[in-house]
């Protein structure tokens, strides 16, 4: 049975060393919760570092045994690896670069070497566990090279990758000497996920610029595979926070704190210590509030929790000092005997206590300068239940793309944050509740379980899509079968692309005229009363008429815009195609899930996203995002996006070879169809034909919807000769007999 193997730098269990030996504690991160139900089921397993150096083989065996019993497999890192791979390249190079703090990033070749070596170590650990049928889901910036390493060893594996932090613009990424290698590493996956469409767009643009690969419709064509790229905004375990906030334990904490704080309004701030989180900016804004609105002195407190993190690294130690100093100065200046402006904690709290903080806070102040998503914002929303409360949220957090009812601010604009604080503290309770309710609906619906399912379903889809694009070589057996079917059919349709199929490409397109042998072959095939031969090309009418117009052929010109049946005049074509809807529907469904009240309408030739019944603030934000997403996805696809009244509509802008060929399929459908083509536009033709048609892609190592492939025009010529020969040796039943 196929299993899911989750791989992340850290395991969902923390191993700690104490005087009496090793201790194992569950880690409470969102990822651990979201994937908890998966990795413990059906023999699945989570591979990762247990969080501390364990060099002694006996201890390693103890850790391995203990973790194995809970579906985990440890990867042990030495002190030197932790220094160079984790603190060095991951946190000293990638973290600052991806968060737009390039000036803090180190470019140390020995760290890069360690990063490669540790990714390789993870690769070996996964290979030791993974069977050929297993799904491997790799997480985050510490393991960017891993998908490609796995792919090298297991070309057929199903591999997903999700990045939890922002993906920076190409201009920032290119500063890294190893940017191209990192992108290639990620492209080993079949599906690459980001929190927002913005990150996804940056990634696609970097792949286009640095690797020169085509990146159309959120798909990347590598030499060997199609890689899907998409946005999957991560959710939280909503029920867990909602329930914990009203649990007996949390209520106990809340009562104790309320006794001390009395009727002071509470502004809550929770982060890991990090320069991306804007903690100092937040303190300055709080000070600004007391300055600009002194009426709040004595009436409002900032409850600030900073969870220790990476404090061995110089920048983090300096940041800690800056925060300590600011808190000291503000408290010294404003405090009274009975009131403390800032209650500052530099430690982490148990889960129930955290839930109590969320529940009792009047305002959550979340002001990162960059943040992949920010789960704290969502946890606050879940924990508030029916109580009023206001979320102030930085517009640079991924979560801002979803939480339109928050007070969205630019964290570096201190005056704006000060005014948002004042607005939050004076906002009528009813408005607070309404805004919260809208956001609660969204965060509840799109929780971490929905996120996990969506990602894994999409990964399965990416594999199915790849398989449908795998063609078989037209070998001797297949050729014999094709010729047999041809001989016994009496109503045959032969559809031939021209350039790259019937003739070789020429540097000057005007010189690609047919040679005498081709003209003769086409004539004999078309003279046969059982055959209908259609040349179906992107060429203009004039060239086709000039070169082939004297033959008894039918024509489709300009990719389906014009058609001419033998003996008739050229005419314009009018009919549309709808197969693209399969591709776009899942994207619209995502927006429906994330925008309560919106819906999809499916018409014959279009898909419509209606948002009239959705909350106007959220809908406006989403419509902008979806429009941009769709414009990007539809570029060069022949589709267009129309903005209507509270609707976005995607429809076919034009015609293609598939819609054109459909004219020859009815009302008397042929009993043998052969279609030959070499490029992207011929894929529309292959898609439009029934599955029993002999569809043949012309090209080496092709990815195509066609059933078979042949290497080049010379092989096509050979096939046409064989058809001709088959006609000579065995005539089918005469027409009308
Ligand atoms: C990365 C990305 C992205 C905090 N203090 C305590 C505590 N926490 C928990 C929170 C929350 C988590 O830590 C922090 O999550 P964030 O999302 O805010 O930030 P990062 O750690 O930087 O995470 C981020 C995330 O990955 C997921 O993709 O959102 O953008 O940087 O869950 O509740 N938990 C407990 N005590 C504390 O004192 N128990």
Q: DSSP readout, 249-284?
A: HHHHHHHHHHHHHTT-EEEEEEEES-GGG-HHHHHH
What ligand 1 atom has the least distance to the C-alpha of 29?
32
CA of residue 545 to ligand 1 center, whole Å: 67
Render pLDDT for 226-244 as a digit per residue (tens, 0 to 9): 899 999 999 999 999 999 9
DSSP-based three-state secondary structure for 667: coil
Tell me the best of 374, 382, 398, 443 to mutate to test the pocket of ligand 1, counting ligand atoms within 8 Å of each CB and taking the most.
374
Model-level pTM?
Answer: 0.82
Residues of the chain above pLDDT 90, percent: 68
Q: Which of 47-61, 243-257, 379-393, 661-675 has the lowest average pLDDT?
A: 661-675
Q: What's the whole-number mean pLDDT along residues 666-685?
A: 88
Phi, psi for 621 (deg, rounded to 5): -65, -45
Distance CA 192, CA 208 (A): 15
Give tens-digit pLDDT for 489-532. Answer: 999 999 999 999 999 877 666 778 899 999 999 999 999 999 99
Phi and psi at 224, nearest 5°, equal -115, -20
**71 within 8 A of 47, measured Cβ to Cβ:** no
| Residue 26: pLDDT band with limits 50, 70, 90 | confident
Mean pLDDT across the stretch 244-265? 94
Place of tokens 């010729």: 483
Residue 173 CA, distance from chain mean position: 18
Would you call 422 helix, strand, or coil by DSSP?
helix
Question: For residue 644, what are its two tokens?
Answer: 């209507």
User: How far apart (Å, rounded) are the C-alpha atoms in residues 295 and 374?
Assistant: 31
27 CA distance to ligand 1 middle (Å): 11
The strands making up 639-643's β-sheet, listed across from edge to edge, are 599-602, 606-610, 647-652, 639-643
Distance in angstroms (rounded) separating the CA atoms of residues 13 and 70? 9
Q: Of ligand 1's atoms, which has the minimum distance to the CA of residue 28? A: 39
Q: Return the ligand 1 atom nearest residue 236 CA.
A: 32
β-strand partners of 601: 608
Average pLDDT over residues 677-696: 90
Instruction: Enumerate residues 6+ apart whose C-beta is below 8 A from 713.
Output: 500, 501, 502, 503, 504, 698
pLDDT of 507: 66
By most ligand atoms within 8 Å of CB, the mutation choice from 375, 401, 455 for ligand 1 is: 375
Q: How far is the CA of 327 from the centre of ligand 1 (A)?
A: 22
pLDDT of residue 165: 96
Which pLDDT does position 736 carry in this prediction? 43
> What local confidence, expressed as pLDDT, does residue 582 receive?
85
Q: Are 658 and 685 in contact (CB under 8 A)?
A: yes
**Whose C-alpha lies nearest to ligand 1, atom 26?**
164
Quick one: average pLDDT of 432-453?
A: 94
Residue listed under structure tokens 């640079």: 396
d(CA 167, CA 194): 8
Provide the β-strand partners of residue 694. Answer: 674
- Ligand 1 atom 19: residue of nearest CA: 374
Angle between helices 375-383 and 238-245 (to 10 degrees): 50
Question: Distance between CA atoms of 654 and 575, rounded to whole angstroms?
Answer: 9
Cα of 451 vs centre of ligand 1, distance in Å, is 17
Catalytic member of 237, 271, 274, 497: 497
Own/partner long-range contacts of 610-618 (Cβ < 8 Å, ≥24 apart)? 610/646, 610/647, 611/646, 611/647, 611/648, 612/645, 612/646, 612/647, 615/404, 615/405, 615/438, 617/404, 617/405, 617/438, 618/402, 618/404, 618/405, 618/438, 618/442
Residue nearest to atom 28 of ligand 1 (CA): 164
List the one residue out of 133, 145, 120, 163 whose CA is nearest residue 31.
Answer: 163
259-287 tens-digit pLDDT:
988 889 999 999 999 999 999 999 999 99
Mean confidence (pLDDT) of the chain: 91
pLDDT tens by residue, 319-338: 999 999 999 999 999 999 99
Q: Report how far residue 28's alpha carbon sits from residue 12's, in angstroms, rounded to the nearest whole number.
A: 7
Residue 556 has pLDDT above 80, yes or no: yes
Task: Report CA(271)–ligand 1 centroid distance (Å).
Answer: 7
Which protein residues touch ligand 1 with a CB less than 6 Å away?
Answer: 28, 30, 164-165, 234, 270, 272, 305, 307, 348-349, 351, 354, 371-376, 379
Atom of ligand 1 nearest to the CA of 349: 38
Catalytic residue at 497? yes
Cβ atoms < 10 Å from Cβ of 717: 16
Predicted local confidence at residue 509, as pLDDT: 66
Q: Taking a C-beta distance cutoff of 8 angstroms, is the pair 448, 235 a contact? A: yes
Contact 625, 590 (CB under 8 A): no
Dist. CA 95 → ligand 1 center (Å): 15
The structure tokens listed for 87 are 């603190």
Q: Which of 30, 142, 343 to mutate to test the pocket of ligand 1 (most atoms within 8 A of CB)?
A: 30
Ligand 1 atom nearest to 166, measured from its CA: 30
Asked whether residue 294 carries a pLDDT value surpassing 90, the answer given is yes
How is residue 724 written in tokens? Answer: 């001709």
- Give the mutation target among 272, 274, 394 for probing the ligand 1 site: most ligand atoms within 8 A of CB: 272
Q: 607 and 584 in contact (C-beta within 8 Å)?
A: yes
Asked whether the predicted pLDDT for residue 625 surpasses 60, the reply is yes
pLDDT tens digits, 352-366: 999 999 999 999 999
Q: Tell how far the Cα of 272 is from the centroid of ligand 1, in angstroms.
A: 7
Q: What atom in ligand 1 is closest to the CA of residue 347?
A: 38
List Cβ neighbours of 13 (8 Å cut-off, separation of 6 or more).
24, 25, 26, 27, 50, 67, 70, 72
Contact between 70 and 13 under an 8 Å Cβ cutoff? The reply is yes
CB contact at 8 A, 151 and 125: no
Of the pLDDT bands very low, low, confident and very high (cuts 50, 70, 90), residue 574 is low
Radius of gyration, alpha carbons of the chain: 31
- 609 CB-near residues (< 8 Å, 6+ apart): 588, 591, 592, 598, 599, 600, 626, 647, 648, 649
Q: What is the percent of the chain with per-residue pLDDT over 70, rounded to a whole number? A: 96
pLDDT of residue 539: 82
* Nearby residues of 23 by Cβ (< 8 Å), 6 or more positions away: 15, 16, 17
User: Does residue 28 carry a pLDDT above 80?
Assistant: no
- Which residues, 6 or more positions from 388, have their beta carbon under 8 angstroms from its beta carbon? 362, 429, 430, 432, 433, 436
Short-list 654, 653, 612, CA closest to 630: 653
Q: Is the pLDDT of residue 370 over 80?
A: yes
Distance 397 CA to ligand 1 centre (A): 13
Torsion of CA 124, 128, 133, 138, to 10 degrees: -40
Inform me whether the pLDDT recorded for 595 exceeds 80: yes
Distance, CA of 498 to CA of 489 (rounded, Å): 24
User: How far apart, in whole angstroms, are the C-alpha atoms of residue 357 and residue 360?
Assistant: 5
Residue 581: pLDDT band (50, 70, 90) is confident
What's the pLDDT at 130? Answer: 93
């Amino acid at each position: 049975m196929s299993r899911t193997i989750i791989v992340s730098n850290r395991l969902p269990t923390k191993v700690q060393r104490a005087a009496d030996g090793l201790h194992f504690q569950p880690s409470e991160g969102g990822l651990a919760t979201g994937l908890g139900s998966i990795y413990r089921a059906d023999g699945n397993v989570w591979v990762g570092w247990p969080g501390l150096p364990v060099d002694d083989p006996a201890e390693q065996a103890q850790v391995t045994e203990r973790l194995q019993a809970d579906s985990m497999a440890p990867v042990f890192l030495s002190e030197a690896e932790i220094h160079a791979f984790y603190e060095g390249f991951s946190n000293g190079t990638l973290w600052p670069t991806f968060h737009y703090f390039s000036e803090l990033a180190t470019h140390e070749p020995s760290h890069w070497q360690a990063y490669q070596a540790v990714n390789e170590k993870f690769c070996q650990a996964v290979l030791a566990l993974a069977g050929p049928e297993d799904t491997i889901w790799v997480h985050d910036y510490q393991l960017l090279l891993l998908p490609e390493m796995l792919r090298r060893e297991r070309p057929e594996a199903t591999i997903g990758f999700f990045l939890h932090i922002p993906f920076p613009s190409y201009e920032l990424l290119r500063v890294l000497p190893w940017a191209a290698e990192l992108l290639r590493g990620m492209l080993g996956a079949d599906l690459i996920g980001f929190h927002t469409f913005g990150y996804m767009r940056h990634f696609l643009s970097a792949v286009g610029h640095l690797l020169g690969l085509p990146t159309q419709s959120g798909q990347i064509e590598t030499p060997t595979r199609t890689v899907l790229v998409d946005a999957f905004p991560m959710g939280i375990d909503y029920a867990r926070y909602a329930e914990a906030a009203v649990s007996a334990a949390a209520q106990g904490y809340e009562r104790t704190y309320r006794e001390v704080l009395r009727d002071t309004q509470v502004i809550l701030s929770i982060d890991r210590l990090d320069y991306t989180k804007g903690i100092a900016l937040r303190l300055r804004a709080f000070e600004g509030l007391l300055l600009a609105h002194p009426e709040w002195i004595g009436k409002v407190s900032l409850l600030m929790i900073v969870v220790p993190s990476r404090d061995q690294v110089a920048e983090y130690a300096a940041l800690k000092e800056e925060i300590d100093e600011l808190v000291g100065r503000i408290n010294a200046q404003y405090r009274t005997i009975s009131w403390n402006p800032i209650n500052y904690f530099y430690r982490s709290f148990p889960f129930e206590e955290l839930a109590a903080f969320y529940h009792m806070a009047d305002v959550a102040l979340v002001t990162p300068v960059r943040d992949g998503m920010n789960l704290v914002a969502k946890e606050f929303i879940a924990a508030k239940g029916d109580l009023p409360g206001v979320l102030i949220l930085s517009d640079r957090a991924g979560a801002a793309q979803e939480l339109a009812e928050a007070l969205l601010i630019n964290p570096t604009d201190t005056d704006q944050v000060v005014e948002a604080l004042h607005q939050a503290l004076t906002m009528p309770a009813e408005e607070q509740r309404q805004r919260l309710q809208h956001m609660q609906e969204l965060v509840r619906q799109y929780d971490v379980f929905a996120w996990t399912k969506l990602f894994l379903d999409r990964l399965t889809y990416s594999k199915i899509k790849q398989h449908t694009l795998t063609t078989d070589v037209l070998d001797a057996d297949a050729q014999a079968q094709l010729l047999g079917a041809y001989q016994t059919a009496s109503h045959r349709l032969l559809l031939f692309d021209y350039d790259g199929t019937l003739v070789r490409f020429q540097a000057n397109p005007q010189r690609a005229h047919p040679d005498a042998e081709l003209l003769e072959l086409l004539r004999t095939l078309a003279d046969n009363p059982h055959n209908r031969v259609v040349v179906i090309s992107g060429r203009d009418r004039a060239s086709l008429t000039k070169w082939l117009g004297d033959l008894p052929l039918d024509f489709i010109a300009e990719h389906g815009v014009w058609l001419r049946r033998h003996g008739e005049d050229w005419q314009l074509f009018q009919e549309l195609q709808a197969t693209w809807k399969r591709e776009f529907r899942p994207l619209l469904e995502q927006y429906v899930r994330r925008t309560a009240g919106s819906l999809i309408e499916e018409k014959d030739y279009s898909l419509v996203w209606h948002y009239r019944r959705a909350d106007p603030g959220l809908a406006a934000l989403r419509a902008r995002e979806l429009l941009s997403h769709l414009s990007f996805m539809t570029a060069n696809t022949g589709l267009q996006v129309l903005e209507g009244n509270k609707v976005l509509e995607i429809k076919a802008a034009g015609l293609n070879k598939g819609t054109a060929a459909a004219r020859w399929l009815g009302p008397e459908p042929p009993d043998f169809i052969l279609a030959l083509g070499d490029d992207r536009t011929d894929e529309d033709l292959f898609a439009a034909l029934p599955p029993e048609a002999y569809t043949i892609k012309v090209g080496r190592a092709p990815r195509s919807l066609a059933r078979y492939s042949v290497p080049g025009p010379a092989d096509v010529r050979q096939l046409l000769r064989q058809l001709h020969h088959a006609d000579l040796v065995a005539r089918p039943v005469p027409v009308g007999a």
